Structure 1
């Protein structure tokens, strides 16, 4: 029989991992967009 406290802890850790993965993905997108924008702006002034 599983302890409800243990299940709650597992759910919390799982949600935390999902949130961390989501934020890491968002950061990767933002870094990519910043890199693209930097390159784009440098072509405008060249």
Structure 2
């Protein structure tokens, strides 16, 4: 099975690392994505 490329990663931040695609987003990435969504929601 091929390792997914960054473009195939489901993370909304678009800052995907292959490890995140393979093992799921890290806690830090989840927090960052949530902060970005909160900031966008306020605008």
Structure of larger gyration radius: 1
Question: Which fold has the larger relative contact order, with Cα–Cα distance below 8 Å and residues 6 or more apart in sequence?
Answer: 2
TM-score, normalized by the shorter chain, greater than 0.5 = no
TM bucket, shorter chain: 0.3 to 0.5
Name the TM-score, length of structure 2 as normaliser.
0.42
Greater helix content: 1
Name the TM-score, length of structure 1 as normaliser.
0.39
